[in-house]
Structure 1
Amino acid sequence: MATADAVLVLTGAFDPTADLVIEELNRRGTPVFRADTAWFPSRLALVASLDEAAGWGGTLATDRRSLDLSAVRSVYYRRPTAPEFPEAMSAEARSVASAEARRGFGGLLSALPCRWLPPPGRAADAEYKPFQLRVAAESGLRVPRTLITNSPEAARRFTESVGTSVVYKPFTPIRGTLDGRSVAVYASVLTADDTGDPSISTTAHLFQEWVPKAHEVRLTAVDGQLFAAEIHANSVEAKVDWRSDYDSLTYRVCEPPAAVATAIRRMLDRLALPYGAFDFVVSPSGDWTFLEVNPNGQYGFIEQATGLPITAAICDYLEGAGPA
């Protein structure tokens, strides 16, 4: 069955966030073609040709459905996984095939004249925390004092100069298994003695001043619309990093201060992103401090807890015509 004028959803086999968007698009009667880049090349066939006047056209097909590439209205780029190749291929052949798939298959998709949420290249740039912190400050958001270093002595001096505890957080999510148990590295509060640890020298580390908090805020921005929810932590662990104890959290819809809202939109314009999941600390005096933005962050738990219409806003964007 051919699918035209569709939203192409690129994501893995299990993605509850993508499921929310697909269900809403289905309810609206908008055609959807869901695929994972892991299906290429064994379960996903690509045939595309370039016409000087019409541009790229062709099909992307599984054994059951095909997508008219010339009529893709938008791409929802969630969390696709890497292309998979036969185990019989040598490591060298897989390496070449992977590079060719990235530049050929991925390059063809990026050449389609439609809107993406988010654009993969821009999202990849925005995921660098040093870059987003700089852009946040330049856009008018309050940011915590921050140090990036592999020097234990520099980390200790930074902690002493801050005068309070500091927070260590990894640059990227770190999850895995240890002794058969699922484990994750969350933000942690450190003292000057902790930041003198010799293991800091093994790689880059991010340290920030501890900002006193009344609560935190997850603010999801979609095409200029801002959906903000207070996150109140009710356990010791969650007060440092709320991701460590979801069961202890309560939520409340809120409105960002006008200056913060303006700075958020300015930051997204500078990053050229239509979507961002922002995290803020709100102090007891009401000041908002930017922590980070995830250009493809999860939002379903916020929508479920608060009723904020984030899925609808995403679908409105995906149903729009032409590049953003």
Structure 2
Amino acid sequence: MPVSGSVLVITGSFDPTADLVIEELARRAVPVFRADMAWFPSSLTLAASLEGLGWRGTLATDQRSLDLSNVRSVYYRRPTAPEFPDDMPPEARAVAMAEARRGFGGLLAALPCPWLPPPGRAADAEYKPLQLRVAAEVGLHVPRTLITNDPAAASRFADRLGSPVVYKPFSPIRGTLDGRSVAVYANVLRPDDLPHPDIATTAHLFQEWIPKVHEVRLTVVGDRLFAAEIHAGSAAGHVDWRSDYESLTYRMCDPPAAVGTSVRRLLARLGLNFGAFDFIVSPSGEWWFLEVNPNGQWGFIEQATGLPITAAICDYLEGNRR
């Protein structure tokens, strides 16, 4: 049965994905309080005291307030960091930031309610080496992978595979260069592209290239699975579909039963109740795990396929979980 109380949505001031959830909760007449960590302390006021077994108090803006003892769940999306006055000395700013994280953030973490996803667990799960190891342990197909800052080791890895390898960053890399927006996507390398001296500058991740028919974005909310095939219509999109959204088409699909079992086990091992999984589907029909994003985008998948991901997230936040 759904429980009463407000849903606290913690995200950036501009987040169309969170907007979908807030709009659906409003249609269900579920109270919502939206806040960004960046509003603290200038436009977000916190006052809470420990009385008996729990914290009591309020989180307030100039227009609204939230009774912290009446929070039924927290939807944690992509908040930005607390902001302090421009003229604050750097030393004081560092102290204020640490105190905000441990005080404001710590108080929110102490609320006795479900989080989707739990921020600490989500932060741990961002580490690719961890999720790749756990994926292999729960029975998913995982490409052979090398992490190194040794150009010679990368060359030996490619030679041993005898096939193309893929370089991919550990986290999204976006920025501006000469006034242009740029991003680093997965790249296919031939054995003779290695060794490369730039590999020595930091950690790099290389994987064997798995031939694919298409990819799949599998979104998991609680125990519910929503899978969509992603078909790329360009060479760049075939290597990394994020590099060419305009070429993509989508189709709903059903994951193999064994994959469904394994992804649920993986999320349980990582302590997560949400995950946006990326898989390659090979010509023989095998699903190969690439990564899981503990707070990945899903709005574009719902828009393209009609998969009811927003409704599933709202069900979970409302207290109707299965």
Q: TM-score, normalised by structure 2?
A: 0.98
Matched, 1:196 2:195: yes
* 1:220-239 to 2 correspondences below 5 Å: 220-239=219-238
Which residue does the alignment assign to 1:44?
44
Partners in 2 of 1:195 and 1:186 — Cα distance?
A: 18
Amino acid at match of 1:19: D
Q: Give 5+ residue unaligned stretches, structure 2.
A: none
Is 1:260 the counterpart of 2:259? The answer is: yes
Deviations 1:233-291 (A, max 9, x none): 00010000000000000001000111111101111111110000000000011000000
2-structure distance, mates of 1:236, 1:52: 62
Structure 1 residues 237-248: aligned runs within 5 Å? 237-248=236-247
Instruction: Give the letter for the 2:10 counterpart.
Output: L
SS in 1 for 2:194: helix
What SS does the aligned partner of 2:302 have? helix
Are residue 32 (structure 1) and residue 41 (structure 2) matched?
no
Structure 1 CA distance for aligned equivalents of residues 302 and 208 of structure 2: 30
CA distance in 1, matches of 2:228, 2:87: 50
Distance 1:45 1:241 in 2: 43
Shift of 1:198: 0.6
Instruction: Provide the identity percentage.
Output: 76
State how far apart, in whole Å, the 2-side matches of 1:6 and 1:52 are. Answer: 22
Q: Name the residue aligned to 2:119.
A: 120
Mean Cα displacement is larger for which, 4-13 or 242-251? 4-13
The aligned counterpart of 1:206 is: 205
After TM superposition, the runs of 4+ consecutive aligned structure 1 residues lying more than 4 A away are: none
* Alignment of structure 1 residues 152-167 onto 2, 5 Å: 152-167=151-166
Q: In 2, distance between residues paired with 1:272 and 1:12?
A: 24
Provide the secondary structure at the position in 2 that maps to 1:247: helix
- C-alpha separation in 1, matches of 2:315 and 2:205: 37
Are 1:8 and 2:13 an aligned pair?
no
- SS state at 2:246 partner: helix
Q: Aligned-pair RMSD on alpha carbons?
A: 1.2
Quick one: which amino acid aligns to residue 64 of structure 1?
A: Q
Residues 283-294 of structure 1 mapped to structure 2, 5 A cutoff: 283-294=282-293
Q: Which residue in the other structure is 1:110 paired with?
A: 109
The alpha-carbon deviation at position 195 of structure 1 amounts to 2.5
TM-score (norm 1): 0.97
Amino acid paired to 1:31: P
- The letter for the 2-side match of 1:208 is Q
Task: Give the corresponding residue for 1:139.
Answer: 138
Deviation at 1:143, TM superposition (A): 0.2
Asked if the contact 1:115/1:321 (under 8 Å) is kept, the reply is no
Q: Distance in 2 between matches of 1:266 and 1:8?
A: 28
Distance 1:134 1:118 in 2: 21
User: CA offset at residue 321 of structure 1?
Assistant: 7.7
Residue type of the partner of 2:31? P
Distance 2:57 2:46 in 1: 8
Task: Tell me whether 1:218 sits opposite 2:217 in the alignment.
Answer: yes
Structure 1 residue runs without a partner (length 5+): none
> For residue 277 of structure 1, what is the aligned residue in structure 2?
276
Q: CA deviation at 1:210?
A: 0.1
Would the aligned equivalents of 2:10 and 2:75 in 1 still touch at CA under 8 Å? Answer: yes
Cα distance, 1:215 vs structure 2: 0.4
Paired amino acid for 1:267: L
SS in 1 for 2:5: coil
